[in-house]
Structure 1
């Protein structure tokens, strides 16, 4: 196979996004759009990647470098069209020996299979391969003018005739070149068009005039959609989620209401997992087999062991590790906590910055008091511990194996193994005092009404 240079165009400001954040850093599935395109380039076997960025786009460079160190960056100071943008990467394509594929950082859903289809055509002798698609409404899009399997030209909407505007096959912008073809054409592209810009698409007519072989392939409209405003961002998110849901169901995951479950780009779920409606997965989730995630859970940055049961209305985050057969019930929040096999926290608890052993019972209303206003400290709970309802565990504190804490206790000191800890005030009953309290409350209310 020939070497592959991927040139990713990411210089657009995205003014229609109405955001201080560069357009290509807006996320789809929890990952910035340029990150998706980087992953596609890497998966398609790119041996070299360069990214064309705008001025003051250090954040874009940082995101790109997170996916591949050593990626080269080129700056486009003036927005003079796609041909001009590619010219900024001259150092890269002048040295390229194989193929060059131009991708766009605001096309987050383009797949490596499409890039593979481009390079296969180039391997088979094509000089240029363009990706087209058939949108429901091609208005304002460039049209592919074809004859049989040949691509004759790409006509921008502003420059197209009325007859050409009737063509349904639109240009996605994604294009592949033999490196020597790109070098022989790129500097001959001019800006004699309605917008006064240098269109990379003009390479098609120039190549045909040279007698070169120009071909096209078709991709699904949802895959190659570009994102230039918030509405398109929402459409890309919807398409991404639809693809992820299908992937998981095909892999043996049951989604009780697929449309209401939202995944991240890196969610990993084993087979025979059941997910109820209205569950949201943020980045960093790994779920083993035979897990049940009940309705209205928000889960991110967590590993969940086999056979666990989560929710409903649970929130898990912050690098938590949930062991096999753990049960976390309604309104339980877990943050940066490791929970051992078979442990249960059924109701209304917050477990943060803790380590909890196996087969321990966490009573309703339990709170690990991990924050003192400045520092966060750790709570350690052993195996086979029983934490009574409405307990406050003030960190740092350790509760030994087999210990009990009485309901309503505030635990501020370590509890030895097999001990019973009582940390509550002694109850005192004042006979006949309740009516006096009611009379006092009613008098206060009456006074307010005057």
Structure 2
């Protein structure tokens, strides 16, 4: 997402490179290019125009600091304004009810059912909630079954009523069921509907009136671009929803919806779907998204994902083994498993500043670790614990068993050795700093 926009903005800022100061002429030239880049990214015309006017006003009103060059100052101003355009700060979901009722709304095919499962999973694993999923889409034959499969996969209960075609009654009965079964969050999945379908819009308004939800989320497919913004406005006029969810941001999208939607409907983007897996859901942080758009990476999100998989006891054990130079392939495979749990490898790498551009045309398969795992699992327990014992005949046997070559086994051994050295060096550096402080 945003690859094309990032490149265009980078080219725009080069207009100011080498300039001694910011002037009305060079700012106008830069921002003309920025506006074109935003429009090409499918940003609403009015939003793009207002955005560039605001940036121009702020840029001309500032002196270039000695530590900054004009293009660096422009990047900072654009970054701050992009973050402000997308809402400024992240906005939490309202979970104050007992149970808290969350109503899903959106077009057909926008990803409401999948998002309902992802949200339930996030609330269960990260907020220790006991969610109940409600199958309120009585029109799409596979919708109820899809929600049941997700519920079973996530070990989250799903409420449905076979033969009942009244989504209002289903939602009301589900809330009663939740109170009886100590479920503290009720997530009501509803049928997709078109804003022009008066009957269906009346129905979701009736569901809202009947269950009085604490949170109404509008789920929209980011790949629909500018249409997503227009649809959001129409739904908001009828439902006055509390927040927006952008799905499929991992797809080939120009990102215009993320930049326009807040300014058009004045409602925050609360979540973004970043993949098909049930944990591929992120809270939307405008400042971090601005970092990504401008190619600055997103180290904070990367650290947060790492912390979610961080096991303090395991880390202490590993630290002790590294200090004694006992790091082995059992530890190596354990580290790989933790990285895999963090999500898509290319997405993780792109969170490192500068890596997004470097990886633009590089295909990184999610199965990138498969060959490494095959080699390690082809080792005997003794070999995994004693990497130095791997002689020529053992390497040949491992290569045959893993379907690889001896050259690939040797490459892995070299990578393993480099990783071990780097870990020891990092630890020693940390100890030296501690010694100096003492």
Q: Which protein is richer in helix relative to its size?
A: 2
Q: TM-score, normalised by structure 2?
A: 0.31
TM-score, normalization by structure 1: 0.30
